[in-house]
Copies of this chain bind each other. A is one copy, B any other.
Amino acid sequence: MTWVPGAAGTPYGAHNLPYGVFRHDGDQRRIGVRIGDSLLDLDGAEAAGLVLAGGALRAPTLNPFLALGRPQWNAVRTRLTELLTDQAHRAAVEPLLLPLADVELVLPFEVGDYVDFYSSEEHASNVGRIFRPDEAPLLPNWKHLPIGYHGRGGTVVVSGTPVIRPSGQRATPDGPVFGPSTRLDIEAEVGFVVGVPSEQGAPVPVDRFADHVFGVVLVNDWSARDLQAWEYRPLGPFLAKSFATSVSPWVVPLDALADAWVPAPEQDPPVLPYLRDIPHLGLDLRLEVDWNGTVVSRPPFAGMYWTPPQQLAHLTVNGASVRTGDLFASGTVSGPARAQTGSFLELTWGGAEAVALDDGTKRTFLEDGDTVTITATAPGPDGVTVGLGTVRGTIFPTGAPHR
């Protein structure tokens, strides 16, 4: 149990230890690890010789640490657990703790390629019903491979970054018009952060997932549905998504989620051999979507049809390599109930059924000034939960002063 006051038994006890990057008093970016409502300055800790990672913890991003690989990740985690649980280290470590309230959390890693999957059967079926009402809700390929596409790595931003309403073209009966999106939406997702790169031409099999993936962030893949509907044929979404993708500031190590693996939904028809993961497990992450103070949805990640190891195996089976800092997200997480859907497109059924918020207002899509906050927890050891942090964004009008 951690000696850090108030941390034991919380979702950010010594069983979690997520990594982030922070600034304090306008200083340089430094790596930290969260414990309770504090942060341990790992730059300071490595400088003091309290933990050793060949200098990787003294970088301004997590990338050098992510590149080290699982044996080193484990060694650092073991050491941090010692430092934060053994009273013998308290005198040396306590001066390196900072209250979270005193720091600014920044994007924790430099993003390489960003891939977005589409792995919730409920979400894909709902979108099919809304956009292609005359066809079968799932396209013929959907149960054979985890559909995915590349998003824009350069516009991934940390939680709290203002989201400026995108402008673009949308279709009208009189032809396309240009202007601010009128159907701005969220996508509540879970993202996986690649640590160890792979080589071009060498696929990563399903059973090597944990050799390459370091951990997990929450993702809000903001989406302009009106832009998307007009632009997406035949090459997929582009400007409808590329203006901003928000991620939570804490990368939760896979190690912290060891108790969260649960059987994933049975796959029928059977998948091709390169996608067979035995045991076939997903992660029991429980998301919560808050819109201006009202919890409007609780998407269950455990029900995702395609698992993270299957996604990585598919992504690389053609010989594509992964790099340190690559991010692949699950796609919108939606459960079978309306109040389990991870997009407002589904929650309001294409905008047809407004949702009532606790402040007395109603919403279909996002209005300027709206704030969306996505959080998640997972089961941890001994009945505690593991917190996955928060990804929050507030909508600013088109043309608002940018950052």
Interface residues, chain A, with chain B CB atoms under 8 Å away: 112-113, 118, 139-141, 144-145, 147-155, 157, 164, 166-169, 171, 175-178, 199-203, 224, 227, 230-240, 242-244, 269, 272-274, 314-315, 317-323, 326, 398, 400, 402-403
- Is there an interface contact between B152 and A231, defined as CB atoms closer than 8 Å? no
Closest to A227 in B: B318
Question: How many of these chains are in the complex?
Answer: 2
How far apart are A134's CB and chain B's nearest CB, in angstroms?
15
Interchain residue pairs with CB less than 8 A apart (22): A112-B153, A141-B230, A144-B176, A149-B150, A150-B150, A150-B238, A150-B242, A154-B321, A155-B321, A164-B319, A167-B318, A169-B272, A175-B269, A200-B243, A200-B244, A200-B403, A201-B402, A201-B403, A227-B318, A232-B236, A239-B314, A319-B402
A321 to B402, CA, bound (A): 11
Partner of A178 from B157, B239, B273, B322 at Cβ < 8 Å:
B273
- Is there an interface contact between B318 and A154, defined as CB atoms closer than 8 Å? no
Partner of A236 from B140, B145, B155, B237 at Cβ < 8 Å:
B237
Closest to A112 in B: B154
A236 to B141, CA, bound (A): 13
- Known A-B contacts A178-B273, A231-B141, A231-B147; the reply to A242 vs B153 at CB < 8 A is no
A168 to B147, CA, bound (A): 13
Note all chain B residues with C-beta closer than 8 A to A149: 149-150, 235-238
Partner of A320 from B150, B242, B320, B326 at Cβ < 8 Å:
B242
How far apart are A154's CB and chain B's nearest CB, in angstroms?
5
Note all chain B residues with C-beta closer than 8 A to A242: 150, 315, 318, 320
- Known A-B contacts A150-B150, A402-B201, A403-B201; the reply to A239 vs B321 at CB < 8 A is no
Task: Give 9 closest A-B pairs by Cβ, nearest first.
Answer: A236-B236, A201-B402, A166-B318, A150-B150, A149-B235, A239-B318, A235-B236, A164-B201, A242-B320
- Is there an interface contact between A151 and B154, defined as CB atoms closer than 8 Å? no
- Is there an interface contact between A176 and B243, defined as CB atoms closer than 8 Å? no
- Is there an interface contact between B202 and A402, defined as CB atoms closer than 8 Å? yes
Note all chain B residues with C-beta closer than 8 A to A230: 141, 145
A166 to B317, CA, bound (A): 8
Partner of A168 from B112, B157, B177, B317 at Cβ < 8 Å:
B317
Note all chain B residues with C-beta closer than 8 A to A243: 200, 318-320
